[in-house]
Amino acid sequence: MIDPKDSKLTNKAIMTNKKIVRFENLKKGFQEGDRVRHVLDGVSVGFEEGKFTALLGPSGSGKSTLLNLACGIEEPDGGDVYIKETAITQMTDHDRTLFRRDNIGFVFQFFNLIPTLTTLENIILPQELAGKRRRDIEPAAVDLLDKVGLADRRDTFPDRLSGGEQQRVAICRALAHDPWLVLADEPTGNLDSKTGVIVMDLLLQLTSEAGKTLIMATHSPQVTTLADRVFRVQGGTLVEDKSVIDSDTEQDEEHHLAEVLAP
Ligand SMILES: Nc1ncnc2c1ncn2[C@@H]1O[C@H](COP(=O)(O)OP(=O)(O)OP(=O)(O)O)[C@@H](O)[C@H]1O
Ligand SMILES: [Mg+2]
């Protein structure tokens, strides 16, 4: 298992400045009675490879909507999402599902584990559905479980696990196919602050510190001090917030999350 105390959240991922994920004039609204509620009103922004981008914004501002559009779970009313120069918004549903399977890992706020499957079965399910053989995918899943400190819980069902343990399993599921892009929607929003620190630390070690591109919606100003870039969802668009990053760079570059989040 990775000891959270040993982890240094240095975020020294390979940074190439290449905009590997791009939103172009993204619009999304939802029907409310006889009118449309415009949530995103022309979002154009790019995310660099290997960086950790935090999305802030009040409840209802559109953070989850943006992440859902980024991975193609939802379709925009207008505009496009480009991932590695491919407009996933122009793909068929089937192709988008395959693309997501190969490239993206998603961590949800509410874990979304299947109660009738064991921990290990939950982790490997997406790959089994993709036609992979269990014996080929199990070793990596077991290795991930070990990394998050749950090697001995592989045959346990989700309802026997604490919230933090369930989220650690959900992180393993999101990473089991080794995606280069990880989207996380308030991954610690449903955990107490102490458990949140442990889970966030593991998530960052396995994603941004491992060179993966991470886009995370969060309500935590402290977590954003660890991000390479911070955007606020504001008035239907994304506005970069440099104040968090600027004040951070004046401090020691190597932060430990537990220190940052300590009361
Ligand atoms: N499927 C839907 N049908 C109707 N309205 C929706 C739907 N999904 C989102 N909305 C509305 O879009 C707005 C943005 O929702 P979203 O979930 O993206 O916000 P959020 O920033 O993630 O909020 P929170 O911080 O509470 O998670 C909200 O007003 C919400 O009610
Ligand atoms: Mg949300």
Q: Taking the domains of the chain in order of start, what are their residue ranges?
A: 16-117+180-261
User: What's the average model confidence in pLDDT over 157-182?
Assistant: 96
* Mean of pLDDT over the chain: 88
Nearest residue by C-alpha to atom 2 in ligand 1: 30
Q: What percent of the chain has pLDDT over 70?
A: 86
Give the nearest ligand 1 atom to 57 CA: 21
Buried b / exposed e over 208-239, threshold 16 CB at 10 Å, is bbeebbbbbbbebebbbbbbbbbbbbeebbbe
Q: Residue 179 in contact with residue 207, Cβ under 8 Å?
A: no
Ligand number nearest to the C-alpha of 233 = 1
**Prediction pTM value:** 0.88
Q: What pLDDT does residue 4 have?
A: 42
**Per-residue confidence at 5, pLDDT binned at 50, 70, 90?**
very low
Q: Residue 37 in contact with residue 24, Cβ under 8 Å?
A: no
Interval 83-110: pLDDT, tens? 998 999 999 999 999 999 999 999 999 9
pLDDT at 205 over 90: yes
Q: What pLDDT does residue 221 have?
A: 78
Question: Ligand 2 is a single-atom ion; what residues have CB below 5 A from it?
Answer: 63-64
**Residues within 6 Å of ligand 1 by CB:** 30, 39, 57, 59-65
Nearest residue by C-alpha to atom 28 in ligand 1: 60
Q: What percent of the chain has pLDDT over 90?
A: 78
Interval 8-29: pLDDT, tens? 333 333 334 578 999 999 999 9
Q: What pLDDT does residue 223 have?
A: 87
Interval 26-58: pLDDT, tens? 999 999 999 999 999 999 999 999 999 999 999
pLDDT at 150 over 80: yes
Does the domain made of 16-117+180-261 have the CATH classification 1.10.287.130?
no
Ligand number nearest to the C-alpha of 65 = 1
162 C-alpha to ligand 2 centroid (Å)? 22
Give the nearest ligand 1 atom to 74 CA: 1
- For the record, the structure tokens of 242 come out as 């440099």
Interval 117-131: pLDDT, tens? 999 999 999 999 999
Those residues whose C-beta lies under 8 Å from the C-beta of residue 263, and which sit 6 or more positions away, are 193
